[in-house]
């Protein structure tokens, strides 16, 4: 009977409590220390702890539990399990000699999604050392032709592999296995993703969230300068190293809105992304600026880090009472509660500007970084260098 009681006492202080520490004499004045663990293991542990009553999720106010990050994860988990019921039986990719020779053997699963699964590939180095890579195994969508499947994945690879920034994932290769399925090889981030971190922590500390947010904005500013918009920014698509460097990943919905020889941005169309992070103009405008859509999502992500929940289910006035409250709060002298709870006025002003329902008035990623708040946020060395 003693062992089950001792386990939470050992586990709980380690990962959440020590994940962020102030160190005055290092660049940025702080360090992140994230446990190296698989996303699925972390999520499974949290779910198991809740089911046996050891640990309860952060509760929202009455009627707002549907906005919690945990409730959306449980729904997502159900969908993923149904979609991937047959994937695990394969025992990994039908690897070709090229994949094994270049990047080693694919082993444990570290992530799942509608696209397929992500495994760690272990490449032997001198002695007992090894280099780890993330190998994303793509699945063909139902009713998707071979030609469309190939075009979709090569388009994603062309976008992601052209980007080089400390806060954007480094995509190395795109290979086909002996069955014709595609595998994308990327750098491996052992710290998991931001979604899992926030879920485990409940919510992040102020300076901790600020550092991750500044890293995110640096990555977004760079992408937009390169003529690329992500269009599916959310905590699940923000990977972390164990030192706390944040890297944007998954360019499956990415758009090239401006070619290298062009000066003006092309407008884009079509609804994509995850509901709580989708900008309101995507529901009403035939065409819109993809950069403004990305910026909107960063504001929702920041508030999720600070509050541990979504602000609304969907940014549509006629469908979501929580979004309606936000619009009313913007007009009210007292403001919108969750944003007003942010202590610093400079921070509040930027978040209101990011979450402006009018995309033509919305602040840009570059303007966020040049704002008084953006300049004063301290970036850790790992975030600066992407290590």
Distance CA 315, CA 324 (A): 8
| Degrees to nearest 5, angle at CA 250 with 209 and 211 | 15
Segments of the chain assigned E as strands: 20-22, 30-32, 105-113, 116-124, 130-138, 171-176, 182-187, 228-229, 238-240, 246-248, 255-256
- With a CB cutoff of 8 Å and minimum separation 6, the contacts of 9 are none
Tokens of 367: 């303007």
| Degrees to nearest 5, angle at CA 318 with 315 and 323 | 35
Distance CA 286, CA 269 (A): 6
Q: How many helices (H) and strands (E) does the chain have?
A: 15, 11
Question: Catalytic one among 181, 193, 210, 232?
Answer: 232
Contact 32, 20 (CB under 8 A): yes
Contact 48, 288 (CB under 8 A): no
Q: Is-catalytic flag, 294? A: no
Contact 113, 80 (CB under 8 A): yes
Residues that are catalytic: 232
């Amino acid at each position: 009977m003693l062992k089950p009681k001792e386990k939470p006492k050992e586990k709980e202080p380690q990962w959440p409590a020590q994940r962020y520490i102030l160190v005055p004499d290092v660049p940025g004045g702080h360090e992140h220390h994230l446990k190296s663990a698989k996303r699925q293991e972390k999520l499974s542990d949290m779910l198991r702890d809740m089911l046996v009553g050891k640990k309860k999720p952060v509760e929202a106010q009455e009627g707002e539990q549907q906005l919690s990050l945990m409730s959306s994860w449980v729904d997502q988990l159900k969908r993923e399990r149904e979609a991937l019921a047959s994937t695990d039986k394969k025992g990994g990719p039908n690897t070709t000699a090229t994949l094994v020779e270049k990047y080693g053997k694919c082993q444990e699963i570290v992530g799942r999604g509608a696209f397929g699964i992500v495994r760690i590939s272990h490449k032997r180095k001198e002695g007992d050392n090894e280099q780890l890579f993330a190998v994303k195994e793509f699945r063909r969508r139902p009713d998707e032709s071979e030609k469309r499947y190939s075009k979709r994945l090569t388009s994603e690879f062309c976008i992601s592999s052209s980007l080089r920034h400390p806060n954007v994932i480094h995509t190395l290769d795109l290979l086909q296995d002996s069955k014709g399925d595609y595998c994308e090889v990327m750098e491996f981030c052992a710290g998991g993703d931001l979604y899992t971190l926030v879920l485990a922590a409940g919510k992040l500390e102020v300076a901790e969230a600020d550092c991750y947010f500044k890293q995110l904005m640096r990555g977004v500013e760079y992408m937009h300068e390169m003529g690329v918009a992500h269009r599916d920014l959310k905590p699940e698509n923000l990977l972390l190293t164990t030192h706390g460097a944040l890297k944007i990943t998954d360019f499956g919905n990415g758009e090239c809105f401006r070619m290298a020889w062009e000066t003006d941005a092309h407008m884009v169309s079509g609804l994509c992304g995850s509901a709580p992070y989708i900008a309101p103009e995507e529901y009403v405008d035939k065409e819109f600026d993809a950069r403004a859509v990305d910026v909107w999502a960063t504001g929702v992500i920041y508030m999720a880090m600070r509050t541990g929940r979504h602000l609304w289910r969907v940014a549509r006035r006629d469908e979501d009472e929580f979004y309606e409250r936000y619009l009313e709060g913007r007009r009210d002298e007292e403001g919108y509660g969750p944003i007003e709870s942010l202590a610093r006025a400079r921070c509040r002003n930027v978040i209101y500007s990011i979450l402006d329902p009018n995309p033509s008035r919305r602040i840009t990623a570059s303007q966020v970084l040049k704002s008084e708040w953006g300049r004063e946020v301290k970036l850790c060395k790992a975030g600066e260098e992407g290590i």
